[in-house]
């Protein structure tokens, strides 16, 4: 007899008939939860349905009890691929991150911490789509229809045209989708829907997977573009199993600090476009506003004080100038503090080590704080030099020569400055905002102040009397 109890890891989705204290799949402790499958109607499980549906022919596949007739593979040449027209959300930054708009029949997972603006963004997008004459549906499992209306009142008038369904029962949602067949549907959020045939609270691993699988099946069949809103855990990972990320076509992450106005939208996975793209928004009274002149704002706000450097970064295919600030102060702690925001912590540790070993700027027991101004996150190797110059400038108490000064480049472990992608776009962006002699690695192109090592960069950036070895006292 088939077992009807399964233990599923809430981190990685590993399943086992027995309970384990530690998940054999991902070795996390105490993550296995019991799930009871009451009934599985239909011959196919949601996972196999998701694999089979919409991915080409299912003809000839028999799932009879006796034996399966294997489907016949075809050469790719014979597969007819139609390029479906994308649906523009009317939000330029969102369309760009999606790779040119929503693809009919695709599933997009939009993750982000609470209050970051996921509902606002999806409300606005649906409003624009409804305004453009597309049939839309907003399924709210978190907020009542009244609450959603109150939010929509603050947005553009089109937002009030969007039909809403406040529902948490998966079957009811699927029925509505099947009946109304909208072109675009937003499920806010996937963790609040509940599949009746599974036990387990909404948001449990099995539930989330089943919900996603069944929605996907319908979406592929009807060509509905679905945006699933998802919560993220404290560590920033999407709550629910990672399998969810494998199931969907596109994973978007909406990030930023709630207290600050800037929000960044990034693609972590995209079957229909690049994952390098990022979009910048600002939360205002009337909803999210695209920030198109971000570089100008950050350069205008750059302080020109010791510890301030402009980084010519790349946000996907787009250059962005941001200010990196550092503060170096004597520490009273046994273990001095290394505080970083907007950058990778390990990357900063590495840069500090290179700076001490190859730049003659030893932090010793000093506290070091590094911050990318405006709450923006920069995730690329080109930021190394900016961190190094900001920290060196702060440690020596001298501003950069010709500040505000831009720079970019990756630091190697032997103190060399390495080439990074798109130097010409970075240099053009810097020049556009009045920043010349940008410190850059060799072969970056005309207009750059090219240097090959960290030492040369320090010599170019800081005045000569500041170029003696520095040791910050603890």
In the complex, residue closest to Mg ion by CB: 119
Q: Contact at 8 Å (CB) between 250 and 269?
A: yes
Of residues 118 through 147, those in contact with ligand TYD by CB under 6 A are: 118-120
Give the per-residue contact string, 397-426, with ligand TYD (x = CB under 6 A; - = no).
Answer: ------------------------------
Contact pick of 114, 236, 397, 434 for ligand TYD (by CB under 6 A): 114
Number of residues that bind ligand TYD (CB under 6 A): 14
> In 181-278, which residue ranges form alpha helices assigned H by DSSP?
205-222, 243-247
Helices marked H in 240-344: 243-247, 294-301
Which one of Mg ion, ligand TYD, none interacts with residue 440, CB within 5 to 8 A by kind?
A: none
Candidate ranges 114-122, 362-370, 393-401, 455-463; the one touching ligand TYD (CB under 6 A): 114-122
The CB-of-192 to Mg ion minimum distance in angstroms stands at 10
Q: What is the CA radius of gyration of the chain?
A: 26
Residue 9 phi, psi dihedral angles, 5° rounding:
-80, 130
CB pairs under 8 A, 24+ apart, for 354-359? 354/384, 354/388, 354/411, 354/412, 354/413, 354/415, 354/454, 355/388, 355/391, 355/392, 355/454, 357/415, 358/414, 358/415, 358/453, 358/454, 358/455, 359/388, 359/392, 359/415, 359/454, 359/455, 359/458
Between 114 and 330, CB nearer to ligand TYD: 114
154 is a contact residue toward ligand TYD (CB under 6 A): yes
Nearest residue (CB) to ligand TYD, 192 versus 467: 192
Stretch that binds ligand TYD, among 17-25, 59-67, 116-124, 297-305 (CB under 6 A): 116-124
* Angle made by CA atoms 324, 327, 332, in degrees to the nearest 5: 150
Q: Which of these, 256, 464, 265, lies nearest to 375 by C-alpha position?
A: 256
- Tell me which stretch binds ligand TYD (CB under 6 A): 232-240, 280-288, 311-319, 389-397: 280-288
What does residue 372 show for φ and ψ, rounded to 5 degrees? Answer: -90, 120
> Looking only at Cα atoms, what is the longest distance across the chain?
86
Q: Segment near ligand TYD (CB under 6 A), from 24-32, 99-107, 209-217, 282-290?
A: 282-290
Q: Which is nearer to ligand TYD, 117 or 206 (CB)?
A: 117
Question: From the CB of 342, what's the least distance to ligand TYD, in Å?
Answer: 20
Q: How far apart are the first and last CA of the chain?
A: 69
Is residue 117 close enough to count as binding ligand TYD by CB under 6 A? Answer: yes
Q: C-beta of 116: minimal distance to ligand TYD in Å?
A: 4
On the 0-12 / 13-18 / 19+ scale of CB atoms within 10 A, 229 is: buried
CB of 117: closest distance to ligand TYD in angstroms? 4
Per CB under 6 A, the list member of 115, 236, 301, 397 interacting with ligand TYD is 115
Q: How far apart are CA 399 and CA 325, in angstroms?
A: 11
Binding-site member from 283, 294, 366, 372 for ligand TYD (CB under 6 A):
283
Question: What is the spatial distance between Cα 390 and Cα 371, in angstroms, rounded to a whole number?
Answer: 10
| Degrees, nearest 5: CA angle 387-393-395 | 100
Nearer to ligand TYD, 256 or 306 (CB): 256
User: By C-beta, is 119 or 467 nearer to Mg ion?
Assistant: 119
C-alpha to C-alpha distance for 68 and 70, rounded to whole angstroms: 6
Residue whose structure tokens are 């010349």: 436
Which of residues 107, 116, 137, 354 is near ligand TYD by CB under 6 A?
A: 116
Q: Stretches 5-13, 281-289, 372-380, 403-411: which one binds ligand TYD (CB under 6 A)?
A: 281-289
Rounded distance between C-alpha atoms, residue 51 and residue 46, angstroms: 9
Binding of ligand TYD by 239 (CB under 6 A):
no
Q: Which residues of this chain interact with Mg ion, rule CB under 5 A?
A: 119
Q: How far is the CB of 55 from ligand TYD (least distance, A)?
A: 31
Binding site for ligand TYD (CB under 6 A): 112, 114-120, 151, 154, 283, 285-287
């Amino acid at each position: 007899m088939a077992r009807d109890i399964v233990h599923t890891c809430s981190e990685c989705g590993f399943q086992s008939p027995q309970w384990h204290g530690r998940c054999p799949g991902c070795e996390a402790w105490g993550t296995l939860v019991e799930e009871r499958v009451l009934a599985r109607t239909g011959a196919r499980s949601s996972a196999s349905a998701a694999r089979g549906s919409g991915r080409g022919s299912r003809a000839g596949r028999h799932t009879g009890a006796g034996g399966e007739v294997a489907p016949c593979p075809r050469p790719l040449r014979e597969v007819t691929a139609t390029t479906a027209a994308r649906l523009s959300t009317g939000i330029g930054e969102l369309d760009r991150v999606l790779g040119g708009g929503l693809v009919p029949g695709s599933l997009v997972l939009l993750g982000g911490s609470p209050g970051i603006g996921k509902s606002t963004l999806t409300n606005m997008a649906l409003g624009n789509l409804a305004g453009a004459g597309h049939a839309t549906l907003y399924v709210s499992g978190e907020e009542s229809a009244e609450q959603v209306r109150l939010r929509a009142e603050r947005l553009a008038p089109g937002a009030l045209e969007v039909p809403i369904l406040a529902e948490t029962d998966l079957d009811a949602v699927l029925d509505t989708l099947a009946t109304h067949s909208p072109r675009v549907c937003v499920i806010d959020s996937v963790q609040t829907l509940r599949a009746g045939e599974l036990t387990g609270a909404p948001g449990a691993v099995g539930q989330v997977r089943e919900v996603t699988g069944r929605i996907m099946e319908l979406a592929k069949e009807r060509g509905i573009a679905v945006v699933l809103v998802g919560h993220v855990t404290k560590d920033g990972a999407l709550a629910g199993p990672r399998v969810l990320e494998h199931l969907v076509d596109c994973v978007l992450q909406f990030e930023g600090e709630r207290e600050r106005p800037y929000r960044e939208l990034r693609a972590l996975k995209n079957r229909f476009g690049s994952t390098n793209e990022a979009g910048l928004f600002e939360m205002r009274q009337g909803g999210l506003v695209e920030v198109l002149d971000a570089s100008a704002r950050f350069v205008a706000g750059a302080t020109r004080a010791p510890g301030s450097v402009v980084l010519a970064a790349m946000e996907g295919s787009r250059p962005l100038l941001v200010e990196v600030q550092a503060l170096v102060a004597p520490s009273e702690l046994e273990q001095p503090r290394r505080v970083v925001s907007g950058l990778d912590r390990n990357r900063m540790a590495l840069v500090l080590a290179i700076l001490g070993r190859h730049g003659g700027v030893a932090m010793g027991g000093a506290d070091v704080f590094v911050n990318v101004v405006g709450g923006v996150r920069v995730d690329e190797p080109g930021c190394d030099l900016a961190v190094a110059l900001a920290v060196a400038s702060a440690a020596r108490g001298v501003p950069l020569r010709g500040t505000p000064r831009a720079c970019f480049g990756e630091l190697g472990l032997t103190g060399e400055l390495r080439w990074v992608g798109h130097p010409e776009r970075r240099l053009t962006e810097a020049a556009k905002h009045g920043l010349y002699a940008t410190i850059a690695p060799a072969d970056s192109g005309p207009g750059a102040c090219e240097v090959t090592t960290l030492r040369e960069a320090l010599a170019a950036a800081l005045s000569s009397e500041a170029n003696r070895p520095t040791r910050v006292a603890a």
